[in-house]
Amino acid sequence: MLDNQKVLILNYSYEPLQFCTAKRGIIMVLSGRAEKIETNGYVVRSPNFSFPLPTVIRVLKMVRRNRRNRGKGVAFSKKNIMRRDNYTCQYCGVREKLLTVDHIIPKSRGGETNWMNVVVACKPCNLKKGNRTAVEAGMALNKKPFRPSFHYHSFVIPSASPEHLESWYKYLPPSLRARNVFN
């Protein structure tokens, strides 16, 4: 059971860092490297051990990340577009394997290949939109595309119970609160 449950790790500054297994999260708390921030009411029990299952923990020492990239932002790549958009079609909200990237204003129409004009789309939406702009096709975007300012590594939101998702929600950047995950 512990391996299926995920814990959101926050930096000392409360900025989300990554998800880990509940087991690792509990070890971090017990070893004094992190503190419990949120629990969901479950208690982990074994013969000589009982511990409220955390859903969110916070490290007690600031973790410095990707210093090299600071200021420069995240590299523009298909992989990072997928991460930014949380592997979710920005038109219909589907999360599936057959995702591609879509130019909101098609390349053939002068659309640029950059953070503001490229979003994740499923194959059917991409096909349906064809050579039209999103506006022409009457296809609304889930959210406005943006240039991400931090690394999205590890930021696929794991599947979890609604209570777990709820407890993570307020700590995650708005870009990750995908419509289909949180409602």
Span from 5-13, 75-83, 114-122, 164-172 in contact with Zn ion (CB under 5 A): 114-122
Alpha-carbon distances of 57 from 4, 20, 25, 105, 158, rounded to whole Å: 17, 10, 7, 41, 16
Measure the CA–CA gap between 21 and 109, rounded to whole angstroms.
46
Measure the CA–CA gap between 17 and 10, rounded to whole angstroms.
5
Interaction mask 60-99, Zn ion, x per CB under 5 A: -----------------------------x-xx-------
How far apart are CB 86 and Zn ion at their closest, in Å? 13
How far apart are CB 141 and Zn ion at their closest, in Å? 11
3-state helix, strand, coil in the chain (%, to 5): 20, 25, 55
* DSSP 8-state assignment for residue 47: T
Residue from 122, 134, 160, 181 in contact with Zn ion (CB under 5 A): 122
User: Does 139 participate in binding Zn ion (rule CB under 5 A)?
Assistant: no
Residue from 7, 125, 134, 172 in contact with Zn ion (CB under 5 A): 125
* Contact footprint for Zn ion (CB under 5 A): 89, 91-92, 122, 125
